[in-house]
Structure 1
Amino acid sequence: MTTVTLRPMTPGEFDEWQDALAEGYAAEQVAAGMWQADGAAQRARDESARLLPQGVATGRMLFLRGLDADGEPVGRVWVALDHPRGVPGVAFLYDIEVVESRRGQGLGRGLLTAAEDAAREAGATALELNVFGHNTPAVTLYGSAGYDVVTQQMRKPL
């Protein structure tokens, strides 16, 4: 496994990430059939604004940049230290992303491990996440990292 270290996002990095996050999340929701394409990006921005009313200064959130051994940014992580459904002691991984040009180098596992360590250091006893079923690389990574399915939604087109 490639070791990844973490540092807090700068306000500028946070703002840039919010734009990319909204576009990516909207595309995932549309691809999963959950949202209509029209207005999806704005809906994603609105959801982030609701979850992050103080932006990068929102309490109980970790907004982190992953760095490789040379100190180069290789990814981003967003962890909420309070579970969105109130599960005691369980942090929630909202976003993890390896820079596109660095994918396939083991950095995803390193970034995930670093995020787990950060959540543990902040007092979490478990880390939960959601993953879209069509995201096979992520499903494989999480499964091989010891994550178990605790709920599952399924759909069949009629």
Structure 2
Amino acid sequence: MSTTAERVEMPPDLTVRRLTEEEYPAWYAAEVAAYVADIVRSGALTQEQAGARSDQDFVRYLPQGYHTPGHAFYVMEADGRAVGTGWVNHGFLPGVTFGFSLEVYEEQRGRGYGRAAMAVGQWATRQGGDRAMMFNVFGGNDVAMGLYDSTGFAVLDEYRSIAL
């Protein structure tokens, strides 16, 4: 059976390249803001608590920033302009690449870039020597959940809550 990466039809205008070190600070600031927003939107934490968690998590996962071993950052481009970014960590668990972030910019959605990025992630996973790829998705991110479901990712764990 072929994998999604082998079946996907890539948009003809899409290219993927490594994020440059010069682009990293702006990317990092956007990632922190998006992570905090995801946590708050999910209802897990308040804005202040989410900010504190974000600070802790980014220090934990990227202690050397752009140069943290095992991490790779990507930019997806179409017609010479960025349409999204991705961040993966090879060897997150033995044999597993973890996809920390996949962002297709809102104005670029619906053009197949997310699906293509999932295929690129699978390719990058194999190139990194891993045999499985994992993602986390916060509650309320129905677009991401739909993308993961449609590209063959299985739910491994799920938490739910109710405010009392």
TM-score by length of 2: 0.86
Q: What one-letter code is carried by the residue in structure 1 that aligns with 2:77?
A: L
1:38 is paired with a residue whose SS is: helix
The one of 120, 126, 141 equivalent to 1:120 is: 126
d(CA) in 2 for partners of 1:98 and 1:150?
A: 24
The Cα of 1:44 is off from its aligned counterpart by 1.3
Match of 1:89 in 2: 95
| Most deviating of 143-152 and 3-12 | 3-12
Match of 1:16 in 2: 26
The Cα of 1:112 is off from its aligned counterpart by 1.4
Residues 114-148 of structure 1: per-residue CA shift (max 9 Å, x gap):
12111111111010011112111111110000000
The Cα of 1:67 is off from its aligned counterpart by 2.1
Match of 2:44 in 1: 34
How do 1:47-86 and structure 2 match up within 5 A? 47-68=57-78, 70-83=79-92, 86=93
CA RMSD of aligned residues (A): 1.6
- Is 1:111–2:117 an aligned residue pair? yes
Match of 1:152 in 2: 158
Is the 1:5–1:114 Cα contact (8 Å) retained in structure 2?
A: no
d(CA) in 2 for partners of 1:107 and 1:113?
A: 10
Structure 2: state its 5+ residue gaps: 1-8
The Cα of 1:157 is off from its aligned counterpart by 2.8
Structure 1: state its 5+ residue gaps: none
Q: How many residues align?
A: 154
TM-score by length of 1: 0.89
Q: What one-letter code is carried by the residue in structure 2 that aligns with 1:55?
A: G
The Cα of 1:42 is off from its aligned counterpart by 4.9
Identity of aligned residues (%): 34
